Amino acid sequence: ETGVTQTPRHLVMGMTNKKSLKCEQHLGHNAMYWYKQSAKKPLELMFVYNFKEQTENNSVPSRFSPECPNSSHLFLHLHTLQPEDSALYLCASSQDRAHKGEAFFGQGTRLTVV
Amino acid sequence: EDQVTQSPEALRLQEGESSSLNCSYTVSGLRGLFWYRQDPGKGPEFLFTLYSAGEEKEKERLKATLTKKESFLHITAPKPEDSATYLCAVRGNAGKSTFGDGTTLTVKP
């Protein structure tokens, strides 16, 4: 139990589907992150929320839409994805954006776009 | 721009054969250097945080050290269960964490 829970663990979706990834943290943290991890590539930061406010969007295509209703929950809404979007999507949380402390990761959602 | 380079890309060891993984970095105002372990298909698992040159931390067979330009993850007498990808990340003044590509460690019995 890492304190950060992601659902679903696996997702297969067609290019015309709409789906959502969910992340919940039980650590009392105020910053939450979405990362994308593709084969043979380093972790790519997608979005950052600090105290429920989006503070960073690293040029992510609009087919990915994040939502952070409170400091404990983070969603990633997906629509009209492309096959190259297939990857492991990781959620993480940390004390806050500026804090020195480490980030804790969930187990990820393995997304396959067909 | 912050940068992290890990070497080697892959490392194969016999059980009990000690070695080190390297993480070289450039960062604007180091706020922390982090080591993670990642098993296939799973999220990274936090191992250590180092904040200043000269700092060392240990956990079982792992020991992390830090200088102003690099960090080492020393693995003493590794076991097959230590096989994983080890990730290094730095966080600078901008508060953004930059990850390296990782080192994939395989320990053969």
End-to-end, the C-alpha distance of chain A in Å comes to: 31
Residues of A in contact with B42 (CB under 8 A): 107-108
Q: How far is B73 from chain A (nearest CA, A)?
A: 17
- Which residue is closest to A36 within chain B, CA to CA? B43
Contacts of B1 (CB under 8 A, 6+ apart): none
Main-chain dihedrals φ then ψ at residue A25, nearest 5 degrees: -120, 140
Name residue A57's beta-bridge partners: A47
Mean pLDDT of all residues in A23-42: 93
Comparing CA positions, the residue from A16, A21, A30, A31 lying closest to residue A81 is: A16
Give the tens place of pLDDT for each residue, A56-65: 888 899 999 9
Confidence of residue B23 (pLDDT cuts 50, 70, 90): very high
Nearest to B99 among A4, A43, A100 (CB): A43
> Does residue B46 sit at the A interface (CB-CB below 8 Å)?
yes
